[in-house]
Amino acid sequence: MSETEALLGDLRAEGDELDGLVAGLGGAAWRTATPAPGWTIAHQIAHLAWTDERAVQAAEDPQGFADEVRRAWAAPDAFVDEGAERGAAEPPEVLLRRWREGRERLRRTLAAQPSRARLPWYGPPMSVMSMATARLMETWAHGQDVADALGVPRAPTARLRHVARIGVRARGYAYAARGMEPPADEFRVELTAPDGELWTYGPEDAAQRVTGPALDFCLLVTQRAHRDDLALRAEGPDTDRWLDIAQAFAGPPGKGRAPGQRTGHTAGGSPSGDSATGGSPTGGSPLGDRPAGDSAGGDR
């Protein structure tokens, strides 16, 4: 199995897991508020469906997608929410079918692309691997919003490796998004995977490092939990500052979650969030659905 095939398999599995959370919901449950202000479960699924459709359009109809980008930049603060609002207004069974069909079409479309293909997006073009990784990251993050709204714990999986990798590569972007100069020296990041394996990034002899559960790191860089509620340890002033501003998505910094919002989270284990408000949906800008690592640390 090629690396692309394995990644697309993980993307399918991530979508299937979220599908299992929403497939049996009644109409009223689709209107349950999620931690993203103003967004219900229906908004979360509608946003994923809308973005998958845009990714397919980017691959199959580049000119039509270019027109879409121009419309997006004409209203950069509204177009993502507008897409979610339109989808959330659909009957749940229609929205669910649309999302299912769209994510399968996206998987087939990406699988059919040449290995060196570059796909247009709302920022610089993306490789097939980067597009698939971005979609997996966002599916996982919005799936966490849905799980938190429902009070359902999710067991972390090895698919978190994709999210963690983006979070590490996006270090420079997190500083740039705030008008800050990133530290010159690399960091060492050591994350404990769900199965106990150690995922490592950066030079082993780095003077500053971050350690902790991979789940906690992924929750942090997707802004699904506040640092105070996680078991991440920073050794050094620069890594300590980085954990305060880390983000895996491109676009302006979000507000993130408030301390104590994930009161049911066991550091490093399965989270059982609440439905408190606060934070912002990933993808709140034209760049929000591409991994920041593309613009900050090279392509995949």
Residues in a beta bridge with 291? 249
Please choose, from the candidates 159, 65, 177, 75, the residue with its C-alpha nearest in 3D space to the C-alpha of residue 118: 65
Which are the contacts of 67, defined by CB distance < 8 A and separation ≥ 6?
A: none
Mean pLDDT of the chain: 88
Q: What length does the chain have?
A: 300
pLDDT per residue over 38-76, tens digit each?
999 999 999 999 999 999 999 999 999 999 999 998 988
Residues in a beta bridge with 33? 40
Name the token pair of 299.
């392509």
Look up the pTM and report it.
Answer: 0.89
Cα 206 from chain centroid (whole Å): 28
Domain locations along the chain: 3-152
User: Do residues 278 and 255 lie in contact, with contact meaning Cβ atoms separated by under 8 Å?
Assistant: yes
Range 3-152: architecture per CATH:
Up-down Bundle (1.20)
User: Do residues 129 and 3 lie in contact, with contact meaning Cβ atoms separated by under 8 Å?
Assistant: yes
Which are the contacts of 63, defined by CB distance < 8 A and separation ≥ 6?
A: none
- Return the pLDDT at 286: 34
Residues in a beta bridge with 233? 211
> What percentage of residues in the chain have a pLDDT greater than 70?
87
DSSP output for 68-91: HHHHHHHSTTTHHHHHHHHHHTS-
Q: What are phi and psi of 249, to 5 degrees?
A: -110, 150
Report how far residue 213's alpha carbon sits from residue 199's, in angstroms, rounded to the nearest whole number. Answer: 10
Rg (alpha carbons) of the chain, rounded to whole number: 18
Which are the contacts of 179, defined by CB distance < 8 A and separation ≥ 6?
A: none
Confidence of residue 86 (pLDDT cuts 50, 70, 90): very high
User: Do residues 150 and 21 lie in contact, with contact meaning Cβ atoms separated by under 8 Å?
Assistant: yes
Name the token pair of 17.
């897991």
pLDDT per residue over 165-196, tens digit each?
999 999 999 999 999 999 999 999 999 999 99
In the predicted structure, residue 274 carries a pLDDT above the cut 90: no
- Residue recorded with tokens 């991994």: 291
123: amino acid identity, one letter: G
